[in-house]
Chains A and B, each alone.
Chain A
């Protein structure tokens, strides 16, 4: 196989959820597309790296510091919704049910992958609690997400904050990434003390 193609396949297959088969198919697709398309893709990849970063307060992805949610004065500052990943914010925003702030943990507790509390942004969350009345734990309804929620619940309650958990009507072992807005909205509205 010619070297540049092997290199592209190698790079693509390092992306999550992409195996060697898919990587090969994608690489051959890029090979067939016009040069402009490939340039746009390459440009988009670099732009993401050059212009976006994590908000220093909530760790969401942003192009400005702090992010537009953290600086939005119209939002409810007494509530923080805790999610695992930056991409978990958009689905919750789309429900229209929530108007508070967010905090991104950048992962979940996972002994399997050697991720302990020190690898998450928990200290930053604890530092943001002034004036906060409720923390909503919206980690995924799988084993790692549940363990993370239970871990956080103890820490937060010890600091006198109300802690709630989404009332997941979604399948066990699920992922909020793949949950539709209506279900997610209902889970938010029906959140329960943990």
Chain B
């Protein structure tokens, strides 16, 4: 649980210390007041990355030389986190004042976030759904980052190999290397998709959202149901084609998670509001899985009620009832009147105040 966070020179936020508290904390304020920047600061502290930009320079207040985000986290122990960036020196992260590896840092404060970038997770390209699967897998098994990193490196090698004049034997060696990490990724994603399906059913039972039956179907690439051997065989079968076309045609970097809505593709039948509601419920299911695994996440919901009419918001909101810690932002105080939250704050002119 995040006990407090301190920000300096981040976006338009006034230097401040913010204490989120436990349970569901709603932050209300007009657009541009700094609500999203506060969530961004929390996300940055937890993951060392921003959900708005790949360039940390963009997060720095205009005219400042750098920014600092610092926080105290209470889990098994009390841990201090810090992420800082300086124009002349780049970014720096630390756990308890010591430089940390990314894996160490990520393990301290698990977060699950819904931001503008997630709006099309269900309707958009498969990459967004692979990210959904992977952040879920990593939330349960932080060690899984090793096979993804290995896969990415090996894939980069294979791409370069195919771009040149790759010998068949050399390509076979890279395929065997890829197959072992690919099989691990596929097995983890498959297991996670199954668990997410049952967690989703539980969450839907607990809220008043009326939706047709939802099925999650994991579509691995290659479409095999076995270990490294089966993946390697599938890769070998198209090796000649890959060499001719000089590109990689198979591998879990092309996986998809198909979401069926009453037996049909959710992309074609659900409205934007329905997709947003389902997306939030999926996030709640992810949070439930992580909590059950003893790693309850801090849930961040930016502009949570956009695309949702008051009735649908009221139907979805109970999905987050038992979340350990949640920060939600909204610019529409009226729709929140009837809804239960544990704390309310207002954000104005870059400063958040309890109310």
Contacts and interface: CB of A to CB of B under 8 A. Distances in A.
B104 to A, nearest CB: 13
A155 B172 CA distance: 12
Interface residue tally of chain B, by bracket? 20 to 34
A87 interface: no
Given A111-B157, A112-B156, A173-B149, A147 B164 contact: no
B170 A143 contact: no
B334 interface: no
B173 A154 contact: yes
B161 interface: yes
Q: Is the interface of B mostly helix, strand, loop or mixed?
A: helix
Interface string A36-72: 0000000000000000000000000000000000000
A110 B157 contact: yes
A144 B150 CA distance: 11
B160 A143 contact: no
Given A111-B161, A112-B157, A117-B167, A143 B173 contact: no
Given A111-B157, A112-B160, A143 B177 contact: yes
Nearest to B157: A111
A164 B209 CA distance: 58
A150 B163 CA distance: 21
Given A111-B160, A111-B161, A147-B174, A155 B154 contact: no
A150 B177 contact: yes
Interface residues of A, number: 19
A21 to B, nearest CB: 13
Interface string A151-184: 1001100000000000000001100000000000
A26 to B, nearest CB: 22
Contacts of B176: 150
Contact of A147 (B149, B159, B177): B177
Nearest to A152: B173
Contact of B167 (A112, A116, A144, A172): A116
Contacts of B157: 110-112, 143-144, 147
Contact of B158 (A111, A116, A144): A111
Interface string A72-92: 000000000000000000000
Nearest to B159: A111
B153 interface: yes
B150 A116 contact: no
B173 to A, nearest CB: 4
A16 interface: no
B169 interface: yes
A109 interface: yes
Contact of A172 (B150, B166, B170): B150
5 contacts: A111-B163, A111-B174, A143-B177, A154-B173, A172-B149
Given A112-B160, A147-B154, A155-B169, 16 more contacts: A109-B173, A111-B158, A111-B166, A111-B174, A117-B170, A143-B154, A143-B157, A147-B174, A150-B174, A150-B177, A151-B170, A151-B172, A151-B173, A154-B173, A172-B150, A173-B153
